[in-house]
Structure 1
Amino acid sequence: MSKLIVPVILAGGQGTRLWPMSRAARPKQFLPLTGATSLFQQTLQRVADPSVYAPAIVITNSEYRFIVAEQSIEAGIAVAGVLLEPIARNTAVAIAAAAAFASDKFGPDAILHILPSDHQVTVDAGYRNAISEAAASAEAGRLVTFGIMPTHAETGFGYVKANATVGGGVVPVERFVEKPDVARAEQMLAEGGYFWNSGMFMIGAGAFLHECAALAPDTLAAARASVAAAKVDLDFIRLDEAAFATAPNISVDYAIFEKTDAASVVAVDFAWSDLGSWDAVWKNGTHDDAHNVVQGPVTLDGVSQSLVVSDHAHIVVSGLDDVAVIATNDAVFVGRLSQAQRIGAVVKTLRADPVTTGLTEIHKTAYRPWGGYSSILAGERFQVKKLFVKPGKKLSLQKHHHRAEHWVVVRGTAEVTVDGTVTVLSENQSIYLPLGCVHRLANPGKIELELIEVQTGSYLGEDDIIRISDEFGRA
């Protein structure tokens, strides 16, 4: 391989199969499900070797732009660009837009490694060899997918059929197979020659765009136009919404890979999981002697073959097996671990009910580019929150029409501006912000600022904010 590979990280998905941890406002790719860092950060780390990879292109939902930026900084890994999808349109146009952007930035002969941001992958010699073989084949014009050697009859994945062997190089794809039922999956496993379709690809930017022109011209036209009319917003590139919206809502598998004569596969057997269910998280976790996986404050008594996760309350489980207990500070899921795939239907039910739809969208803790806040207590005409502000960050200069606020500093130093007057508060000091005042909160210190905010008024919604100026482009 003679040139650096350009990683393209797909980070826009809003998967709900790991509810209640994963929600629309902070989906699984940004959660630390398998260690101290998020799946997105682990993906960045896999492509951080400067001898193999150029800086990555990230394509994500506009709502996740600050999470992507923050987690990239935390990981200490710079990216070449963050493309913002204005609306959801599946993977075909997302990859085509990234290919068009990469072609403009790196040239049409750029080799792109397409990576979902929410997979767990073990990097070993087999992984590195597969990357090298796939890149060489992509340089020769092939569109390469990574086929995972199946370990069991999985019904949650699509399959690729090919005359391939692990270590045997890149070979043409014979056909793609939709997610099978159990009987068909067992038959394919017994027959051999079938591989899990991993969703990872190695493609030449120019070669992929050429196939798009022949097989998915509407997708290509939308992608090129959205890149050509894109606007720079701080450190992000906003793809043009009008152009992007004309793209068909179709996956890259359907649009390109199942139709092209250039489709190829490299068979691999490195450890891989799409972590698409709580059952998958359990399979890839660290098991105790009773085959349990736990995260957070958990006590087990006579429990086996189970997954128990808590990010808040201490969970005690006694005398059960094959259960999944997932607890956040505002929702708890309890079900059979072996039936974890059913959670998608449960989330649809929650989303359809106005009383519970919020549980599928946001956490009690919401993250912002300056830090975030956690809801503590809410009642008629009042609300209590804990705000946390990162060192050197500040909120927008703003005012509210319907509420007043009281701030009490718990930790750190707060610089508060109220109608042009600046006050510096330290721990245990407080300030009152009357209704309608123009105010701003900043953290001038070296440690994170924490304060308690008490809101009172006739309307307490987050949309009662008039931003006057904002360093994050939201005014």
Structure 2
Amino acid sequence: MALNIVILAGGHGTRLWPVSRKGVPKQVRPFLDTDTLLQKTIQRLESVIERDRIFISTHEQYRNLVASQTETIAPANIICEPSRRDNAPAICLATMTIAERDPDGLIGICGADAYIANEDRYKDILSSIPDILLAHPNEGVLLGVVPQYPETGYGYIEYEISNIKYQISNTCVYTVKRFVEKPDIETAKDYIKQENFLWNPLQFFFTVKHLLSLYEQYAPEIYTGVQAMMQIEDEDKKRNIYDALPAISIDYAIMEKIPDLLVIPADIGWLDIGHWRAVQDILSSSLSPKGGDTPLASSLYQGEGSEGSWGMIVKGKHIGIDTQHSLIYSEANRLIATIGISDMIIIDTPDALLICPKDQAQRVKELVKKMQDTGLEEYL
């Protein structure tokens, strides 16, 4: 059984506004170096997964944009949903598409917006998935990330740390106890102390047959709707069927209802590039003396030469006095000057400027919603 991977690349990335926009969302933008997040994800997979088994799930609006950035991926492997109904319908559509070609195969789901520091370990885990699913064909396997700090922006997976269910080489597989919603800071600190909680990066693996059986059992409306949609040619009729599907995530539709799930604790240096603080944290690490001269430093520089300034990540033109631990990211060809600021995020584009404290970077999504509600759609 061979592993097929579906990269989810249909979101807007609102928390990375004003660089991520509806017309050109974050997954097709370069945040860390000259490659886009989608391109970096494909590059990470290509050394482990055959190219004709890498699929991209995106919105019809982004078909041409995605195709222009993924020359190594066949156009037939770009699976487009006609409208946005969250990821449960999108994953069902991708799974049924793969089932037409490889009904006895395996499927894995990952996002297009992750940073993984230890790519070698990640590839080792991917290589072990076929053997794990061969031994446990009626169970799903999740990737769980060993947390580095108490994070309130991620969901968590609790697992039975004392009982190894399966082991292949240096990869241990455990039983999932439960999923946990995004916690408050004190709860997150407690999870770190307990050591049997993992970040949930929404990466999981099934046999194609088993995942479809779970849709049929737990999300029959999505299963029958997507099945009907794939049997007709008329695009308007397809869209009407898809529009009527429940807008729900696969976590709520299926994952939290499954009694038998396995998890691989992965210490791979994973971070979700979902907001500006994550961008700063990744670049700060890659530009530090410990990180050395990495490819991530190629198009960014630290704020050298600014009086009383350190810990800066700067893309563009900047001069500052007493400016520390801030991200200044400019796509506009103008100088940004700062005095007496610390732990700030400044994002400058030709038509919009964002300024916010680093610890409130998650709230950019709220700001985008407010812009929608007040008629500022032209900036989104």
Q: TM-score range by the shorter chain?
A: 0.7 to 0.9
Residue in structure 2 matched with residue 157 of structure 1 by the alignment = 154
**How far does the alpha carbon of each residue in 1:413-457 deviate from its partner, in whole angstroms, 9 at most, with x for none?**
xxxxxxxxxxxxxxxxxxxxxxxxxxxxxxxxxxxxxxxxxxxxx
1:196 and 2:199 aligned: yes
Residue in structure 1 matched with residue 221 of structure 2 by the alignment = 218
| 1:85 maps to which of 81, 84, 87 | 81
1:242-253 superposed matches below 5 A: 242-253=240-251
| 1:8 maps to which of 6, 9, 21 | 6
Residue in structure 2 matched with residue 208 of structure 1 by the alignment = 211
Residue in structure 2 matched with residue 457 of structure 1 by the alignment = none
Provide the identity percentage.
30
1:229 and 2:232 aligned: yes
Deviation at 1:163, TM superposition (A): 2.3
The 3 A distance-change label for structure 1 pair 124 and 295 is same
Higher relative contact order (CA 8 A, sep 6+): 2
Which consecutive residues of structure 2, in runs of 5 or more, have no partner in the other structure?
A: 288-301, 303-308
The 3 A distance-change label for structure 1 pair 298 and 239 is farther
Residue in structure 2 matched with residue 423 of structure 1 by the alignment = none
The 3 A distance-change label for structure 1 pair 263 and 229 is farther
Distance in 2 of aligned mates of 1:51 and 1:311: 35
Tell me if the contact between 1:57 and 1:79 (Cα under 8 Å) persists in the aligned partners.
no
Structure 2 residue identity aligned to 1:101: T
Distance in 2 of aligned mates of 1:59 and 1:239: 20
Deviation at 1:77, TM superposition (A): 4.2
**Count of residue pairs brought into register by the alignment:** 349
**How far does the alpha carbon of each residue in 1:68-96 deviate from its partner, in whole angstroms, 9 at most, with x for none?**
010112xx444542121111111111111
The 3 A distance-change label for structure 1 pair 230 and 276 is farther
Tell me if the contact between 1:135 and 1:203 (Cα under 8 Å) persists in the aligned partners.
no
Larger Rg: 1
Deviation at 1:31, TM superposition (A): 0.8
1:41-80 superposed matches below 5 A: 41-49=39-47, 54-73=52-71, 76-78=72-74, 80=76
Residue in structure 2 matched with residue 447 of structure 1 by the alignment = none
Tell me if the contact between 2:67 and 2:75 (Cα under 8 Å) persists in the aligned partners.
no
The 3 A distance-change label for structure 1 pair 246 and 266 is same
Tell me if the contact between 1:302 and 1:319 (Cα under 8 Å) persists in the aligned partners.
yes
Residue in structure 2 matched with residue 429 of structure 1 by the alignment = none
Structure 1 residue identity aligned to 2:355: V
Distance in 2 of aligned mates of 1:51 and 1:82: 16
Deviation at 1:9, TM superposition (A): 1.1
The 3 A distance-change label for structure 1 pair 51 and 6 is closer
Structure 2 residue identity aligned to 1:247: L
Q: What SS does the corresponding residue of 1:12 show, helix, strand or coil?
A: coil
The 3 A distance-change label for structure 1 pair 303 and 283 is same
Residue in structure 1 matched with residue 324 of structure 2 by the alignment = 304
1:24-35 superposed matches below 5 A: 24-35=22-33
Distance in 1 of aligned mates of 2:120 and 2:76: 27
Q: What SS does the corresponding residue of 2:179 show, helix, strand or coil?
A: strand
Q: Which runs of 4+ in 1 moved over 6 A?
A: none
Q: TM-score, normalised by structure 2?
A: 0.86
Please identify which structure carries the higher helix content: 2
Deviation at 1:53, TM superposition (A): 5.6
Q: What SS does the corresponding residue of 1:163 show, helix, strand or coil?
A: strand
Structure 1 residue identity aligned to 2:99: S
The 3 A distance-change label for structure 1 pair 114 and 192 is same
| 1:171 maps to which of 170, 174, 180 | 174
1:295 and 2:298 aligned: no
1:75-474 superposed matches below 5 A: 76-78=72-74, 80-106=76-102, 108-139=103-134, 140-141=136-137, 142-164=139-161, 167-229=170-232, 240-286=238-284, 287=287, 288=302, 290-312=310-332, 313-354=334-375, 356-360=376-380
Distance in 2 of aligned mates of 1:230 and 1:155: 44
Distance in 2 of aligned mates of 1:54 and 1:123: 25
Distance in 1 of aligned mates of 2:223 and 2:366: 33
The 3 A distance-change label for structure 1 pair 239 and 9 is farther
Larger mean CA deviation between 289-298 and 266-275 belongs to 289-298
**How far does the alpha carbon of each residue in 1:274-301 deviate from its partner, in whole angstroms, 9 at most, with x for none?**
1111111110014448222112233333
Aligned-CA RMSD value? 2.1
Residue in structure 2 matched with residue 435 of structure 1 by the alignment = none
